Amino acid sequence: MSNQTVVEHFEVSLQTPSGEVTTAVGVPTSFVPITAILPLMRSLGEEAQALEQRRLLETSRTVSCQKGCAACCRMLVPISAPEAFALANVIERSERDERARLLAQLDLANQRLAKAGLLKQLIALSESTHPVTDEAMEPFNRAYYALRMPCPFLDNEVCTIYEARPAACRELAVTSPAADCQDMTNAAIQPVPVAVRISTTLSLLWADLTGTAPRLIPLPLAVDWATKHQTEQTQKWAGTELFEKAMDKIWQYLSRQKTRRSSP
């Protein structure tokens, strides 16, 4: 951020099922790409999750996830277009050898998906012009998990893009024993409730900004998708506009969830 950048300060207050999340943020008034909103969105999501985990502690329940516990890294991770652009940028800025290794891992993952007959279906999903429901996603989730394929960004059961990992990865945590996660379809698994799904709100934000359908992109396809849509990443918006629209999507999401919980 240059010395001439003007920053406008806001107080954010979100009423989540676990309590109120409040924080102060600085938003640039200059024109910025969509990826500029990611740090703020991730921070809000993590604060909401931390609030939920503190609530669980009051009932003597703690998160059992630890570094190296990566059983969940065999699941299909959906990410938003802004996250896909950000991930492609992270790989592009990596050291040459690391970039080559990551791209090779992505290629191997896509080869395996093609062999399993899933690649074309997942590509179609990432380019869908209509919103995809959770129910429609379920067959893809099950078929992908049946492969038990490690995430392309996993190395020795450790995430190699941890600081840049998608929101869906940040939001997945359990309080049940880690051993139960060897089969993520195990009914005994007790996930930590997610107050607001950041990938979903980012997907809605991107759809609003671009006049397209909300979409979630399978993680192994994200870099290819971002490359194909590279010209879209060059678009810029006033930072305050991005912030206000992003907050609106979060509030809408929380409102819908509240309505669902109160429905008989």
Pair type for strands 158-159 and 237-238: unpaired
Residue-level pLDDT at 2: 43
Pair of tokens at residue 178? 């880690």
Q: For 23-49, what is the HEC assignment?
A: EEEEEECCEECHHHHHHHHHHHHHHHH
Answer yes or no: is pLDDT of 80 > 50.
Answer: yes
Residue 111 forms part of a structural domain: yes
Q: What share of the chain in percent tops pLDDT 70?
A: 97
Beta strands in the chain (DSSP E): 7-16, 19-28, 31-32, 78-79, 154-155, 158-159, 217-218, 237-238
Residue-level pLDDT at 23: 85
Residue 206 forms part of a structural domain: yes
| pLDDT, average across residues 63-88 | 93
Residue-level pLDDT at 74: 95
Number of domains making up the chain: 1
Q: Is residue 188 a contact partner of residue 176, using CB atoms and an 8 Å limit?
A: yes
Residue 62 forms part of a structural domain: yes
Residue-level pLDDT at 133: 86
C-alpha dihedral sign at 182, 160, 44, 65: positive
Q: What share of the chain in percent tops pLDDT 90?
A: 67
Residue 142 forms part of a structural domain: yes
Instruction: For residue range 123-164, list pLDDT tens digits in order.
Output: 999 999 888 888 989 999 999 999 999 999 999 999 999 999
pTM: 0.92
Instruction: For residue range 225-248, list pLDDT tens digits in order.
Output: 999 999 998 999 999 999 999 999
CA within 13 Å, CB half, 10 = 16
C-alpha dihedral sign at 226, 197, 122, 154: positive
Residue 252 forms part of a structural domain: yes
Answer yes or no: is pLDDT of 260 > 80.
Answer: no
Residue 93 forms part of a structural domain: yes
Residue-level pLDDT at 220: 96
| CA distances from residue 68 to 155, 159, 176, 254 in whole angstroms, order as listed | 10, 8, 16, 32
Please state the φ and ψ torsions of residue 87, each to the nearest 5 degrees: -65, -40
Residues spanned by the domain of 75: 7-262
Residue-level pLDDT at 259: 75
Q: Note every long-range contact of 95-104, with CB atoms under 8 Å and residues 24 or more positions apart, other chains counting.
A: 102/152, 102/153, 102/160, 103/223
Q: Assign 192 to helix, strand or coil.
A: coil
Answer yes or no: is pLDDT of 35 > 90.
Answer: yes
Q: What is the DSSP letter of 151?
A: P
Pair of tokens at residue 260? 């669902």
Residue 2 forms part of a structural domain: no
CA within 13 Å, CB half, 12 = 24
| pLDDT, average across residues 84-106 | 96
Residue 1 forms part of a structural domain: no
User: ∠ at Cα 166 (154, 117), nearest 5°?
Assistant: 65
| pLDDT, average across residues 182-199 | 90
* pLDDT band (50, 70, 90) for residue 175: very high
* pLDDT band (50, 70, 90) for residue 169: very high
* pLDDT band (50, 70, 90) for residue 263: low
